Structures are given as structure tokens and as C-alpha cells.
Amino acid sequence: MQRPLVECIPNFSEGRRPEVIEAIVRAMRSAAGVHILDTTSDADHHRSVVTFVGTPDAVEAAMFAAIRQAADLIDMTQHKGEHPRLGATDVVPFVPLRDVTMDDCVAIAQRLGQRVGTELGIPVFLYEFAATHPDRRNLADLRNAHFQYEQLKEAIAVDPARMPDFGPAELGTAGATIIGARPPLVAYNVYLSTSDVSIADRIARAVRHSNGGLRFVKAAGFLVEGRAQVSMNLTDYRRTPVARVVEMIRREAARYGVTVTTSELIGLAPQEFFVDAARWYLQLDKFMPDQILEYRIQRAEAAEAVLVAEEPPIPEDAARPVLTVAPPAGTPETFVAAVAAGTPTPGGGAVAALAGALSAALAEMVAQVTVGKKRYAGVEQTMHAVAAAAATLREQLLDAIDEDIAAFEGVLEAFRLPKDDPARADAIQAATAHAADVPLHVARLALEALRLAEQVAAHGNTKAASDAATAALMGLAAVEGAAMNVRINAASLDDAQLAARYRHDAGVLVESARAIRDTVIQTVEVRAGLG
């Protein structure tokens, strides 16, 4: 049986003395049985990031030992670096990985924060899902380039807004620590062909969400090893893929006559992060996750494990298992009512994403009711793979509903800027490009759902043939609806070349979707004996 697993990614204000980081890591290992996965240090930022995993109790114990060791070895009164910081152990996020909820991680953050404040005398601020105040959820509101250790030292005892959640209202040489719980994020930096850090600052301003850029992107400009760097946290790489981020940086960099020279990861990133980037840059429109060798092996091994403890078979005359479940709160009535309410969002883009999610769900369902049937034993592995791929698409398309709403609201926010604001025009163009990127992504995902519908229509349980056909029709509606949103937004772009690319890409997706729809309908009619 697998154990519950929590990830922790502490940031320490030390990037120039490897012996200090080694001592901190030794303290972690000595305190509990955790696995150290990665350690990354940067001398310019004067910062190190450690990634480790373990059971909830082990991670909590190891992190307390690390904070205590860091407090003994790092003096914030002597610390200078590019990256903003409040303390020796600057930020401690807990991330639920397996059989652990976000609430569990919040409880870990709270217990650790109280212990650090009481036993070590270090002020602790809770952030993200553990935040006790709405204005402390965002890390940048607690610590940024304009408010760091030096500013907090003056404000903590006199400003009620800067009072810690735990520990004394005064700073020692260890400074303060920010502890919280959050979903996974990717720390990703891009280097430019210039040493002019002001260009990195301007690009970061255009890219980050707080200034009207890409949602789920936090960014700042730094000078690192003599090169301008756009440093970012991608807080939801699924809903704002890294390829979209990089392409926007390239466009912004071109305005200043510079290019992207290289990029780097800080710490670790999920495999899906790289797969999504490869799919976009290689233009693998027909790619499915099941084509990755390691994925196929894992699913084959999982299928063998399932056969050992096989569930009771579904009767051959059943088209699908009948389950009695309560509908999720707010679905579908609330969403449909919101669409009909006469407000700008949710609109056609969000509805297209929902149609795509339903297409993927139907393909997943047909695959599920095919598995376990003797008649379809020859395609069982394929159906397992289709079901897994469809489940991933379903979640991504549901996420895209919120992303589409946020993208349109970003356009509205840009237009609300004062007309004499010199940044207004660029903000509108950036927001509009993002509003085209989102439905283009939806169209690509929906096309993948269509391809899954094509597979289950050709090889799945014929008793669910109408469901496969409906999956294809919903997928086509999603692609065409999303493509129309792409074209509408592209028409408002000043960059004619970029607009043409959007129109071309959307057109190719629609043509492919229509062809698949026709194939699926013809296949279903033949297999279902409709003449």
C-alpha cells in the first residue's frame, strides 16, 4: 500500500556557501525519513531551493529541523542578493501529492508555524491556502522587491498589517519565515541577449497577471551573471502552458531588439509540463499521451494489477453501468444560468470548453464500458489508454472554462486603464492575444477529444455507438466555437503576422475536426447497422 506523500520546497537565503546548504539538508535527513529530490543554488539571487518529499509527519519534522539549522547559520543582517527575502528560511510551501488533501497541508503549515514561532522565536506569516487574512494569500503581498527584511524590521512592531501569525513582533538575525500550502507550481527563468535589466523588468510587467498579462504567471526582472533575466513562477502550468509564456516573452523581447538566449528550471517540474511544451513546439496535433513509452508500460503494469483483483463483470447486454449519484453542487444549473444571465462571462469560449469536456467524458465512458468485455478483449489495452487520456483532457477542458472567463475579464481590465496611460495600448494587445491563446488551446484539446471519439467509435462497444457519435458532435462544436473566438480576437490585433497565424491555426483545427466528425458518423452508422 502506498503511503501519503507531501512535497515541500523551502527557499533559503543562502546561495554562495554550499557547506551551509549541505548542513541544512543533513538536518532534514537526520530529523525524519524524507527523500531529498533536488537542491538548486544561485549566487546572484543568493538563494537556494530544496525539493523533498515524505509522509506528512516526516515532512513537518524535517522542515522544523531545517528552519532551526538555517537560523543558526544564516545572518540576515549580512545578506544581500537579487531576490526579495524576509528571512533565513524565507518561504516554506507544502504541496499535496498523494492521498493528502490541501486541508492536510494547511494543518501542517499551521502546526509548523506555531512551533517555529514559539520554540525558535521566529515570526511566521501564513500564505496561500493557509493564509489567515485575504491580503496575505498572495506571496507578493507579504514580500516583494520593495518590502523585504529591512522594511519588515521597521514595520513589524508598529504596523498592525505586518503583525505575524505566530511568534514575536520583532526580527532577529534569522528574520521571518513565510509558511503555507499551495498547488504545484513551476519556477522558470528566461535569459535575454542583453545586460539591460530594465528590459527584463518591462517584459516581466507585460507577462505577469497582476499587470494584465498571462493568468497564473508571476514575473520579475533581475540581473544574473551579467544577463537580464525574466524570473517567473508559473502557478498553474496546465491552465497557462509554458509555450504560451515563452512565445509572449519572445514577442515582447523583439520590441526591444533582444532575443531569448536560454532558460532554466529552478527545482523540479512534472512530466506533463514538458509534454505540453513538446506537443506545442513540435506541432504534434495528433499526439496522445499514450504514445509515450513509459506511460504505456505503466498502464500495462497497472492493468495487470487490476486483473488480480477484478471487479464483478458488467452484463454483456448493459450499454453502461448504472450509478446513482448526486450532481455536483452548481452543475449544471448554475453554469447554464450564468451563461444566460446577460453578463459578458461566461460566454461562447467557456461554453466551447464545456462542450469539449463533455466530448472527452463521452469518449472516456465508451472506453470504460468496453473494458472487461470478452468480445473486445483485443482492444482492451487501447481502451485503457483512451480512458486515461480522455480523463486528462476532461480535466484540462473544465479548467479552461475558468481560464476563458479570466482571459476575457483581462481584456476588460486593460480597456479600463486610463486612456492617457502610455501602457494601455500594449496592455490591450497583450490581453487580446491571451484571449486568443485560450480558445486556441481549447480547440486543440477538443480536437484531441475528437480523435479519442474516433477510436472508440471504431473499436469500442457498439452498444454505446450513439455515445461515440455524440462525443464527436460535441467535440466539433467545441472546436468550431473556440475557433470563432480565436478569429474574433485575432481581428483586434495590431500585429498582422500574429493575427494571420492565429487564423491559420484555427482554420487547420476546424478542417481536421470536420473530417474526423464525418469519419465518426460514417463509422457509427455502419457498426450500428443504420444503413
Q: Take residue 444 and report the three cell numbers written for it.
A: 486543440
- State which H helix or E strand residue 492 sits in: none
Structural domains in the chain?
A: 5-181 (3.30.990.10), 186-273 (3.30.70.670), 346-527 (1.20.120.680)
CB 483 within 8 A of CB 443: yes
What secondary structure does DSSP assign to 251-290, as a single string? Answer: HHHHHTT--EEEEEEES---HHHHHHHHHHHTT-TT--GG
pTM of the model: 0.54
Question: What is each CA distance from 95 to 107, 275, 396, 478, in whole angstroms?
Answer: 12, 22, 20, 33
What secondary structure does DSSP assign to 346-380, as a single string? Answer: S-HHHHHHHHHHHHHHHHHHHHHHHTT-GGGGGGH
Per-residue pLDDT of the chain (531 residues; tens, 9 = 90+): 467 999 999 999 999 999 999 999 999 999 998 999 999 999 999 999 999 999 999 999 999 999 999 999 999 999 999 999 999 999 999 999 988 999 999 999 999 999 999 999 999 999 999 999 888 999 989 999 899 999 999 999 999 999 999 999 999 999 999 999 999 889 999 999 999 999 999 999 999 998 999 999 999 999 998 999 999 999 888 889 999 999 999 999 999 999 999 999 988 888 889 988 998 899 887 777 778 887 777 666 655 544 444 434 434 443 433 333 333 444 577 788 888 877 788 889 999 999 999 999 999 999 999 998 889 888 888 898 888 889 989 999 999 998 999 898 888 888 989 988 898 998 999 999 999 999 999 999 999 999 999 999 999 999 999 999 999 999 999 999 999 999 999 999 999 998 998 999 999 999 999 999 999 999 999 998 886
Strand partners, 186: 234
For β-strands 217-224 and 177-181, DSSP reports them as: unpaired
Question: What is each CA distance from 46 to 89, 160, 224, in whole angstroms?
Answer: 12, 30, 11
Q: Is 516 exposed, middle or buried (0-12, 13-18, 19+ CB in 10 A)?
A: buried
Q: Take residue 321 and report the three cell numbers written for it.
A: 453501468
CA angle 200, 202, 203 (to 5 degrees): 65
Coil vs helix vs strand at 226: coil
**Distance between CA atoms of residues 438 and 426, nearest Å:** 19
Rg (CA), the chain: 26
Residue 45 among the catalytic residues: no
Question: Using N-to-C axis directions, what is the helix angle for 424-459 and 242-255, rounded to 10°?
Answer: 150
- State which H helix or E strand residue 446 sits in: helix 424-459
Phi, psi of 181 (to 5 degrees): -135, 135
**Which of the following is catalytic: 45, 46, 79, 83?**
83
**Distance between CA atoms of residues 87 and 143, nearest Å:** 10
Q: What single letter denotes the amino acid at residue 35?
A: H
Strand partners, 217: 234
